[in-house]
Structure 1
Amino acid sequence: MVALPASASWWTSSPTLTIGATSINVRNAGALGNGVHDDTAAFQAAINSLPSSGGTITVPAGTYRINALKSINMRSHTRLKLDPLAQLVAIPNNQTRSYVIKAWRVNNVEIVGGSIVGERARHIGTTGEWGMGVDIRASSKVFVHNTKVTNCWGDGFYIGAIGPSGSATPSTDVTISHVISSNNRRQGLSFGPVQRVYILASTFANTNGTAPQAGIDVEPSTQGKSTDIRIEGSSLTGNQGNGLEVHAHVAGLAVVSSTLKGNRGFGVLSVDGASSSLSKNVITQNGLDGVGMTATSNNWQIIGNTITYNSTRWFLAHNKSIFTLTSSNRDVQISSTTRNIYLASNTLSPKP
């Protein structure tokens, strides 16, 4: 029997942060929130005016236009607290890379509330895929919750590292809770090198526009490793690519009690992922197999999941109901190049 990733309750829904006591209303720094004025400088002035101990920037209801080429640059020990009716709307640009909020090389940062609206529909250029909503790199103790990110030219969220392969500084101890990331162009959420990231009760849906178009893509490439990621109670649905895809240099990923439904690709696709697990998930009505273990994927445990009525693209192409019963495998694909893939107690599509 394959061993599960090391058990450790490092994850928590309410991480402890050290945030300064000072509070500044962004309107007092010059932000108008009228949907016309460029409020980027006012946000940055408010953040920069905090003492070295940090503090909270409060953002009242309103529409705040943000220059994503300059970004809102978070500082350590700082909270950005948005009213539920506050919107940060990216100003259209023609660049391949932009970021509405950057948390780079910082620690003890909280982003809560409101919504972030990207500029994909108004983007002036045609190239690139890196217009991000919230971009977290080389940072630790970051907590983002109850925030909605939509319509980005690239990813709704990116969590990763800064630095060259072999010596990049990963992000560590990041919690993303009760967020919605929808209708972004490249991914709902992408991972570079990270350690200890908890994704809880969040939705990554309807990604479309440029490949891979996944709900969540864990792909550190050669920059470093992604280890100890827990995705729990979340929904990865309606994406034009895969619900979740997992690549090389990833280990210790656990997907628990989540729903992966109606994605055009696989529900879960592992390409070289290792030492990870799927448990108690509902994986259904995806265009390709519910779970695909390919290339050199190894040491996975797939236990107690409901994996039913997948491979819908074939059925629809042949004018058949996706609930048609068939003796062919439609739910789990395990390539011969993989090793140590353990399956137990899963519910698969019924046979005729």
Structure 2
Amino acid sequence: MHMMIKQPISFHDKYWILWLLAAVIAAVFFIPKTAGVLLEQTEDEKPAVQQTAAPPVFSPAAFGAVPNDAKDDTKAIQKAIDEAAAKKGVVRIPAGTFLINTNPDTGTLHVKDGSVIQLDSKTTLKAIPNDLPIYRIFTVYNRTNVKISGGTLVGDRYDHTDTGGEFGHGIFIAGSSSNITVSGVTAKDFWGDGFIVEGDAKNRTYPTDVAIHNVTGDNNRRQGISITAGKNIIVKNSTFSNTNGTAPEAGIDLERDPPFDLPLEDVELLYNKVTGNNGYGIAFVYASHNSALNNVVTGNKAGGIYIGGSQDSGAADENTIRNNFISGNSENGIFINFSTKNAISGNTIEKSEKDGISMMNHIGQNRISTNLIRQNKGNGVSVWGGLNDQSGIVIQSNEVRGNGGAGLSVVDVTDATIIHNRLLSNTQAGMNLKAVKESTVQKNTAKGNGRNDE
């Protein structure tokens, strides 16, 4: 039988036991706290999930507007606009027809800074018939960060109670307004323009950073859209049609107002359809440094695109007209008058009642290049230097064929460059030059023209 003999605990054993006891105490009291700190740090390093509350929505119905009741809804809609602006909300106007007092003094819908106004696709805001020379459904004056979208605005052109004036508009954007977006809105039957962007001559202010896209301006009396002052404006993917009633009757009119001291530049017209207007499809009048790219311009009675100024009031210079389809317009496809340094390139210009491209008077340094100019009843390209600057015109690398007049008719110019053009099957001469001085004319191809191929 063995007996267990207890050994005395040595000094070293006692030290080890004390160390173990301290480690246990540390684990109990300190490690969880430390782990917690580490866990919190790890959670902090994770990206926070931001919860963004949807903006409050305000309906004019809450303020008394009733669709289709044939009553004036202006005040109710205005209250919704005011309340939404105060609370950073959105105005949503439901389906149905709402009547609007468009008098700028006693009515109109005054948009606020930061307004977001959304019309249902079946919403109609209709102008109450009036005798006013000036009226508006929406007024955007000296405002910033505004969005208006959807619905249809209807003017009173068939119920207007006077015959004077021409400034009844759907959406009026003016003064120092900036960061304005209008999208998906149809404006039709207005006494003046569907849409207008203009400056304030008295205060010398003008709109900036305006985007108008996917809109329709149809059957308005004066213009589909007018832009008379501003910078950094885009009109895109929109349709402007059937303008008729009072001059200029254009689809899109860029036209600086007298005294011509506010800018109208950096306007881009992109991928629009401009058709059936009584005036020009697109006009640049006293307007410089703008562009029209990839638009369809058809069936306009005064002509396709106009770029013009006057001897007394200045020119329209350095505009770019590129890659547009210009077809079946009365008068000229493109007409340039008292305007210099414009670039006309890559366009298809066809079936005009007169010339494909016509230039006259003070037209120095205009450049006509890489266009397809065909089947116009007059000349393919007609140039008359006329008054003032006649120098530095370039006509290069165009295909000009099947026109009823000459391929190129160039008269009274100096220092012109006419090179690398293909002049094919035009009824009259391939090229008709008269008083063309100190110019370069070479490497053009003329075949199958009616007479005088060169």
Report the TM range for the smaller structure's normalisation: 0.7 to 0.9
Displacement of 1:50 in angstroms is: 2.8
CA distance, structure 2, for counterparts of residue 91 and residue 261 of structure 1 = 33
Other-structure match for 1:143 = 181
Residue deviations 1:289-346 (CA, integer Å, cap 9, x gap): 0000002x1111011000011126xxxxxxxxxxxxxxxxx21001132111101110
Contact 1:35 / 1:62 at 8 angstroms: preserved in 2? no
Root-mean-square deviation over aligned CA pairs: 1.3
Alignment counterpart, residue 119 of structure 1, candidates 152, 156, 163: 156
Displacement of 1:209 in angstroms is: 0.2
Of structures 1 and 2, the one scoring higher in RCO (CA 8 A, sep 6+) is 1
Question: In structure 2, the residue corresponding to 1:42 is in which secondary structure?
Answer: helix
CA distance, structure 1, for counterparts of residue 373 and residue 96 of structure 2 = 48
Other-structure match for 1:102 = 139
Runs of 4+ in 1 over 4 A off after TM superposition: none
Contact 1:132 / 1:153 at 8 angstroms: preserved in 2? yes
Correspondence 1:298 to 2:340: yes
Displacement of 1:220 in angstroms is: 1.7
CA distance, structure 1, for counterparts of residue 116 and residue 317 of structure 2 = 35
Displacement of 1:54 in angstroms is: 3.2
**For 1:167-186, what aligned pairs fall within 5 Å after superposition?**
167-186=203-222
Other-structure match for 1:214 = 250
**TM-score for both structures, normalised by structure 1:** 0.86
Correspondence 1:73 to 2:110: yes
Contact 1:53 / 1:77 at 8 angstroms: preserved in 2? no
Residue deviations 1:263-305 (CA, integer Å, cap 9, x gap): 001201111211110111001111110000002x111101100
Alignment counterpart, residue 369 of structure 2, candidates 331, 341, 344: 344
Question: In structure 2, the residue corresponding to 1:199 is in which secondary structure?
Answer: strand
* Larger proportion of helix: 2
**TM-score for both structures, normalised by structure 2:** 0.67
Question: In structure 2, the residue corresponding to 1:286 is in which secondary structure?
Answer: coil
Displacement of 1:52 in angstroms is: 3.6
User: Does the C-alpha gap of structure 1 residues 23 and 223 become closer, same or farther in structure 2, counting only changes over 3 Å?
Assistant: farther
Contact 1:193 / 1:223 at 8 angstroms: preserved in 2? no
Other-structure match for 2:321 = 278
User: Does the C-alpha gap of structure 1 residues 65 and 163 become closer, same or farther in structure 2, counting only changes over 3 Å?
Assistant: same
User: Does the C-alpha gap of structure 1 residues 142 and 51 become closer, same or farther in structure 2, counting only changes over 3 Å?
Assistant: closer
2:239 partner amino acid: T
Question: In structure 2, the residue corresponding to 1:252 is in which secondary structure?
Answer: coil
Other-structure match for 1:238 = 276
CA distance, structure 1, for counterparts of residue 358 and residue 87 of structure 2 = 52
Residue deviations 1:99-144 (CA, integer Å, cap 9, x gap): 0111111000001000000000000011000000110002100100
2:357 partner amino acid: V
Displacement of 1:196 in angstroms is: 0.4
Contact 2:201 / 2:262 at 8 angstroms: preserved in 1? no
Correspondence 1:257 to 2:291: no
2:156 partner amino acid: E
1:116 partner amino acid: L
Alignment counterpart, residue 288 of structure 1, candidates 331, 337, 342: 331
User: Does the C-alpha gap of structure 1 residues 298 and 57 become closer, same or farther in structure 2, counting only changes over 3 Å?
Assistant: same
Correspondence 1:332 to 2:357: yes
CA distance, structure 1, for counterparts of residue 55 and residue 143 of structure 2 = 18
When structure 1 is superposed on structure 2, of 42-51 and 209-218 the one drifting more is 42-51
Unaligned runs of 5+ in 2: 1-53, 309-314, 375-401, 403-425, 428-454
Other-structure match for 1:308 = 350
User: Does the C-alpha gap of structure 1 residues 51 and 215 become closer, same or farther in structure 2, counting only changes over 3 Å?
Assistant: closer
Displacement of 1:46 in angstroms is: 1.0
Unaligned runs of 5+ in 1: 1-19, 313-329
Displacement of 1:35 in angstroms is: 4.7
Question: In structure 2, the residue corresponding to 1:339 is in which secondary structure?
Answer: coil
Contact 1:298 / 1:340 at 8 angstroms: preserved in 2? yes
Displacement of 1:160 in angstroms is: 1.2
Other-structure match for 2:97 = 63
2:63 partner amino acid: A
CA distance, structure 2, for counterparts of residue 105 and residue 151 of structure 1 = 26
CA distance, structure 2, for counterparts of residue 194 and residue 282 of structure 1 = 26
Question: In structure 2, the residue corresponding to 1:299 is in which secondary structure?
Answer: coil
Displacement of 1:251 in angstroms is: 1.9
* Larger proportion of strand: 1
State the aligned residue count.
312
Other-structure match for 1:161 = 199
CA distance, structure 2, for counterparts of residue 64 and residue 276 of structure 1 = 41
2:191 partner amino acid: W
User: Does the C-alpha gap of structure 1 residues 35 and 302 become closer, same or farther in structure 2, counting only changes over 3 Å?
Assistant: farther
